[in-house]
Each structure stands twice: as C-alpha cells, then as structure tokens.
Structure 1
C-alpha cells in the first residue's frame, strides 16, 4: 500500500509501505546486555491535557505499554524524563505511576507468558526501575539539607514498592550547589539511605537546560571526575550509571573508569548502536527512551548478540538509531512527542495525546519524517494501521489522501 508523506514545503509525496519487520520476541531471558526502555505515559483520551493541568492517565493503556516491554524481555525505566517527569507529570501522578508499575511487574513475575523471559529468582526491581528526585517540593529554592530530605523521601517510597531506584539529576540541586563538594555531600547522604544499589542518572542540558553545570562543572571531564568520586566512595551502593549527554566519547571515558560491578547504561540516543555492540569486549548496557519507540528492534538486537551475531545486532541498532536521531533532534527535550506518536501509530494508545498538551510540540512535516523513518527501519509494528492513522491525521489538517487508503482505526 501507499504511504503519503508531507514535506516541509507543504507538498505531499508517496512512497511504498513495506511489511512489518520480523522481530520475534525472545523465548528466554536476554543474556548479553541489560536493557531498560524508558517509557512514556498515556493520558485518558477525554482528559484535560492543557499545560499545567494535573496528569490524568489512562492506566489500562499505560500499564499495557509496560507489559509490552516485558514481553520483549526488556526492563522498564519509569517515572523518568520520557514519562514527562518535570514536564507535565505532577508529583501525585508520579507516585501513583511508580506504585502501579511495580504492582504490574509483580503480576508479570507470576505470568507464565512473561516470567520465563527473566532470570529465575527475578524480583520486581529486575523488571522496573523508577526515577527518584526532589520534585515533590514546589519551592524553587531548597537548602542542601532539604534536598537530601526530599531525595530520601522519594527513595523510601520507591523502594517500598519493590522497584529499583534511579537517582535522577535534581533541578533543586543544580540551583543550590556551589561546588563539586556539595554534589558529593548530597549524593553520599542519599546513597547512605538506600537499602539496595541504585542507578545514578546524569541528564545533559540537551534534555533539560536547567541542569547546566551538574556535578559541579560545565566541563564534562571535571564533572565526570566528581561522578566517579561519588561512585568510588562506596561502589557497592551503585548498580549502574545512566549517561544522557549525547557525547559518546565522554561515556566511554567514564565507562573505562567505573569500579568493578558498576555498569554503564547508555542513555545516548544518538550513538547507542556502537556503544551497546561495543568493541574489544567493552560495551555499554542501556537505559533509553529510544527503546520505548523501538522495543521489538532492541530486543531482537540483544537476541542477536546472545547468539554471537554482532553484525546483525549492529544492523538492527543502526536502523533504530537512524530513527532515534530524528525523534531526538533539536529541541531534544521534545523527543517525547515522537515516542507518543509512534505508540499511537503502533496501536498502543487510542489517541495521539500527551499530558501538558505536548503532542503539539512537533510539526506535521517532522511527524511525517518520523513515519517515513519508522517504516524504513522496520519500527512500524502494524504498517496498515500506522498508515491509516497517519493519513487520518493528515486529512484532519486539510491534506487529503485517497479514500481507498482506509480510515483510522
């Protein structure tokens, strides 16, 4: 069938739409890489998605999306920036999201269709990790002691659900810290309160400009040294590090210096293919928003690595990365629109809508290129459905397509 596309000049063109890629789900646990998909949230279609309105989520669809990740053998990273943390997902909804996702993970471990896809003895924290920050405090400015208290409050609540913790970068801390020593002190006190090893998350300014100078410096090497000192003080408390700087050289430099037992989880949506496949036995694991949009491909790539198929894995991930580079193009923090758009095209949600009205953050030509790349890279799970929904969106905006191309389902 035909796929109609909209170019920047407003003209329509047509390409042939191919079949879905044959990305089979795994039959057992993924072994060679630890992979988490950082997933988005789905609002009720009839909810108020005006900017500033409390998030009103479609819990059935939101949790079903997480189960779709587990059915591919992928872990879920929840309540993070992909879930619009600090960008539409309010603290009350965040707390409920973590609780509900952890409960769904507990049910998944008893599901005969999902449990065999994870190692024997797996716990809730092996299926889901969740963001821990300080955003429940509405004040713009907090003291370092108040920041530690806020972190510890969220940490305790998250650990109580059984989910693993990801210590996210705090906007409060970015504003309050005056030196690298302030970061070291805050993280030391928060890590001391953790009952299980956590993941540390370094989010770059492309994703959140309010985090400029995080870890005490705008110089990446200096900030990396601070991060490594935090980890080195007690590596047993750190499960891994997620670096989201879109700087592959910086990630490799930190990865090479990590203590034994601490994993690098790439958050680099521009360079994840070579980082994950690796070379000379060195590689990164993954915690990626891009994999919320390309989960079947991500799973297939790790399955290929498990078989020793490095070239096959690289080909699959290169294609996924090509799509991700567009979805995450500047302004990068609007990438979540592309994730939700692909979720809608692939039938995971009823409407193309987002909390905070963020579904309007990308232009129609940008979304058209997203459809085109998803089709070309095998990341449309049901191509006829995706085409019908996309064509309906074009028609809604006055760009007519032939009637025999079908209506949206």
Structure 2
C-alpha cells in the first residue's frame, strides 16, 4: 500500500509507509545525562474560541502526554515555548498548566521544571518586570517544581544596558529558594528577544550571561542555550563554573552536544524530544553504557526531522510537534491553541510525516497513515 504526498512544488510523489514501529521498551533511569522534554499542550477542540481568546486546553489529554514522557524516563519542561507561551497560551493558562502538571509529577514520581517569565506584561518598567517575574516564580515554587527563568520580551524592550539584566536576574537568583535553570532563547525562536543581555553582538551578550552566573553559581543549576550555534554552546559550556550544567536547547546539533567531547558534554532540554521521546530515551540509555557510537547511530538519523520541523520561521516548530502527536495517537485531533495548526503548509506536513514514519516513531503506523490521508483529503488531495 502506498500514499501520494505533495512536495514543495505541489507535485504528488509516491511513498510506501512502514508497516511496523520501532520496538522500544522503557528501562532504568538515566545515569549519565539529565534530559528534559519541553512538552506541548493539547487544545480543547470543542471550545468556542477565536485566535485572540484565552487558550482552551484539553487537560486530560495534556496530562496524559506528560505521563507518556515520564514513562520513558524523561523529565518534563513545562510551560515553555513548546507549550506556546506567548503564542496562544497566556499566563493564566500557563499558571494552571504548571499547577496541574506539578501535581501530576508528584503523583507519578516524574521530574518537572517550569517556565518563569513576564508574560502578564506587554511592556513595563523594570520594577513591574521584576514583580511579574516574582509572581511567576512564586507559583512555580509553591507548586513544588524547579524554576526555569525564561527570557522576557518586556525586559528586552525596556532594558537600556547590560546593567538592567544584571540587576533583574541578580535579584531573582537571590530570591529563588532553590537553584534554577537560566534560559537564553535566541531571536530565531522569538524575534522580540533580539539584543537580549543588552547586545545583539552574541560575544558581548555571552559575557553578560556568564557574569550573571558567576555572581550566583550556587543558585544556578544549569543554563539552557537555544541559539542553534553548536560551537558557541561548546565554548560557553567550557566556561561555566564548576557544578553548573549546560542543557542544550539546540534542536539542530543535539546528538553531538549531548555526546560531548574530552572536555565535557551537554545535558538536554529540547522541544524535539517531545515527538522523539521514546527514541531519545533509548539513545540516552545506550549512552549510559558508554557506547557513544551506538548513541549517535540512534540519534543522528533524527536530525533531519528536527531540522525540518524547526526550519524558518523557527518559532512555528510547535505546529509540526503537535501534528506528529496527532499522527502518533497522543491526541484525537489536530487543533492547536491560537489556531496555530495553520502555521505550516501541506507539503511541510507531508515531509514531516514521511520522515517520522521512516524513523519508526508512530506506535501504530496504520493509524498514522489513515490520519495523514484524512489531512490530505481536507486539502483536496486524493492520496
């Protein structure tokens, strides 16, 4: 049985789906790396909302997906950009997501870290930005989760120089009850973050970032770097204070960064580990045995899919992530908060399906094929 898929020029090509998924089993907790999957949210398809309305979330399906990730041994990075923070999910929805997911994590013994930002504000003074961060930090800590201090659009718009970043982050780190993860998200993921840390020169920005960490190494568990620049991450990783981890957020170069070199390695906090969950977990367990070559043999073939999902405009990668979750049977519809299911083209979806199927990511390949045919028919393609 074959299926006809459209290419970028609209021409139909024939593809033969695989008949069986990869045979992967869960195993022991990871020993060599700490690995988080930044998880997506599942929209409520029956909610009567517009793209400008607050997000309507299907809580049962959203929490079930997190249980799926925890069952693989992965940690969950909650309420991050993969969960559409600032792209459909507002702070009220994120706060509810944090509370529910943290409670679920306690119930199943899963690891969780949650995003702390300032998305209550569009703009504001430094005092208001600090207060917004403090409000969100309190919600995460009260929920019993680890905090991830995310980059702030409001701070990027308001800060006049690097000193403003040093002041805000220094205050928050002194206040945090436990060590946090600092998240540097590049403008390819969010154009509003251009010039973060006080400069569009990444070398200068890196020095400010490292100054924040050096001033409070006991309050920084690690840093998440999302700049899609492998060498910059390696260079920064080598300059971190002893005990401060680097969590790669590089969805283009993650196999080599996690594998590491003679001077160290990166842990992981990745959006691509949402669709790759079971396969990523298997790869890390191979790495735990010391088999770096075997780890790369498992994970390297996934990079083509990741680069496809994260192609420019990179911020719309969430659409491909949710699309694959639908094909894999983790949700019963392809609807997204904010209507973001419209952010990618049919040829993009077709290629994502082909790459994911080739990797054996779908637990039920026949169901994935049927759902792909359904989408094609909605676009007027007789597959």
Is the 2:24–2:279 Cα contact (8 Å) retained in structure 1?
no
1:223 is displaced (CA, Å) by 0.6
Selected match of 1:248 from 230, 234, 237 = 230
Q: Distance in 2 between matches of 1:377 and 1:257?
A: 36
1:231 paired with 2:213, answer yes
Q: CA deviation at 1:386?
A: 0.7
Where does 1:126-141 land on structure 2 (aligned, <5 Å)?
Answer: 127-137=111-121, 140-141=122-123
User: For residue 164 of structure 1, what is the aligned residue in structure 2?
Assistant: 146
Mapped to 1, the partners of 2:322 and 2:190 lie a distance apart of 19
TM-score (norm. length: structure 2) = 0.97
In the other structure, the counterpart of 1:303 is 285
Residues 363-409 of structure 1, C-alpha deviations (whole Å, 9 max, x = no match) = 000100101111122222321111110011111221113xxxxxxxx
User: 1:114-144 CA distances to partner (integer Å, 9 max, x unpaired)?
Assistant: xxxxxxxxxx6xx11110001123xx33111
Query: Are 1:26 and 1:303, in contact at CA under 8 Å, matched by a contact in 2?
Result: no
**Residue deviations 1:39-92 (CA, integer Å, cap 9, x gap):** 110011212453111111110100000000000000000101000001100111
1:78 aligned residue: 78
Alignment correspondent of 1:346: 328
When normalised by structure 1's length, the TM-score is 0.91
1:58-207 maps to which residues of 2 (within 5 A)? 58-109=58-109, 127-137=111-121, 140-207=122-189
* Matched residue, 2:2: 2
The correspondence for 1:280, drawn from 262, 274, 297, is: 262
Question: Does the 8 Å contact 2:22/2:361 carry over to 1?
Answer: no
For residues 53 and 62 of structure 1, the distance between their equivalents in structure 2, rounded to whole angstroms, comes to 19
Q: C-alpha separation between the residues in 1 aligned to 2:248 and 2:264? A: 13
Tell me, in whole angstroms, the C-alpha distance in 2 between the residues paired with 1:166 and 1:59: 22
Any unmatched runs of 5+ in structure 2?
Answer: none
| Aligned equivalents of 1:381, 1:185: Cα separation in 2 | 48
Deviates more, 1:309-318 or 1:211-220: 309-318
Give a deviation string over 1:176-224, Cα, whole Å, max 9, x none.
1111111011100011110000000000000000000001111111111
Tell me if structure 2 keeps the 8 A contact 1:25–1:71.
no
Q: CA deviation at 1:21?
A: 4.3
Contact 1:40 1:84 in 2 (8 A): yes
Q: Does 1:211 align with 2:211?
A: no
Give secondary structure in 2 for the equivalent of 1:293.
coil
How far does the alpha carbon of each residue in 1:87-115 deviate from its partner, in whole angstroms, 9 at most, with x for none?
10011111100000001101102xxxxxx
Give the Å deviation of 1:277. Answer: 1.0
When residues 353 and 49 of structure 1 are mapped into structure 2, their CA distance, relative to the original with a 3 A threshold, is: farther
Alignment of 1:39-50 (within 5 A): 39-50=39-50
Pairwise CA RMSD: 1.2
Residue in structure 2 matching 1:382, options 344, 361, 364: 364
**Maintained 8 Å contact 2:238/2:263:** no
User: CA–CA distance in 2 between the matches of 1:154 and 1:248?
Assistant: 31
8 Å contact kept, 1:35–1:75: yes
Equivalent in the alignment of 1:37 = 37
**Cα separation, 2, equivalents of 1:378 and 1:304:** 18
Rounded Cα–Cα distance in structure 1 between residues aligned with 2:279 and 2:129: 39
The correspondence for 2:303, drawn from 312, 321, 326, is 321
